[in-house]
């Protein structure tokens, strides 16, 4: 059933084309609903961000401990491979590029490039306190200390870590190299 009505120019418009001004709800969300959802998401993010930061610091610290153990293993292997030199006193001596040729005392290829560069997972690594003895006219390193300090204390890590040729891992809770607390 079609109804028509007329205007002054005598055209007829079917009733199906009339606009319905009833108060039926349209599909979609209101602005208020969207604002409430955005506020809830913002609150959840504010709760989660500090947790993610502390998890990252914990992961960096664990990586630093494991990296020190890796350096110690490389030092032991270096000392057995190059007994005339003793321990390596530089990280780059424990590293080296395999494509550059055979391993040597200056590039033994025992460590990955990221660790032998001295920077890994937010920590700075170094070998220090090397003591030398002279045997048959050749200097031989008979001790070393490995240190790992955060690049930014409080952000990339909280504690510094140290170990010596004895293999004992200690920490400095202030992020430095004054390691006095035994790590278990």
pLDDT tens for each residue of the chain, 184 residues long: 565 555 555 555 566 555 555 566 668 889 999 999 999 999 998 888 888 888 999 999 999 999 999 999 999 999 999 998 899 999 999 998 888 889 999 999 999 999 999 999 999 999 999 988 887 888 889 999 999 999 999 999 999 999 999 999 999 999 999 999 999 7
Task: Give the chain's domains with CATH numbers.
Answer: 31-182 (3.30.540)
Does residue 169 sit in helix, strand or coil?
A: strand
Burial class (CB in 10 A: 0-12, 13-18, 19+), 123: buried
CB 165 within 8 A of CB 143: yes
Find the farthest-apart pair of alpha carbons in the chain and give their distance in angstroms, rounded: 121
Q: How far apart are alpha carbons 63 and 153 in whole angstroms?
A: 15
The H or E element that residue 138 is part of is strand 138-150
């Amino acid at each position: 059933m079609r109804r028509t009505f007329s205007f002054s120019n005598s055209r007829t418009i079917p009733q199906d084309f009339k606009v319905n001004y009833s108060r039926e709800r349209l599909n979609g969300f209101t602005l208020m609903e969207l604002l409430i959802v955005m506020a809830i998401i913002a609150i959840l993010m504010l709760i989660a961000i500090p947790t993610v930061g502390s998890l990252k610091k914990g992961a960096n610290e664990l990586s630093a401990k494991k990296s020190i153990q890796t350096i110690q293993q490389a030092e032991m292997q270096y000392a057995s491979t190059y007994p005339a030199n003793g321990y390596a006193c530089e990280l780059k001596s424990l590293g080296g590029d395999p494509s550059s040729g055979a391993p040597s005392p200056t590039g033994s290829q025992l460590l990955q490039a990221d660790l032998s560069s001295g920077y890994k997972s937010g920590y700075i690594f170094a070998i220090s306190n090397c003591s030398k003895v002279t045997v048959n006219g050749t200097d031989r390193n008979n001790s070393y200390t490995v240190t790992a300090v955060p690049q930014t204390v409080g952000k990339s890590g909280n504690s510094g870590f140290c170990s010596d040729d004895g293999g004992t891992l200690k920490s400095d809770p202030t992020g430095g190299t004054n390691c006095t607390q035994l790590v278990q």
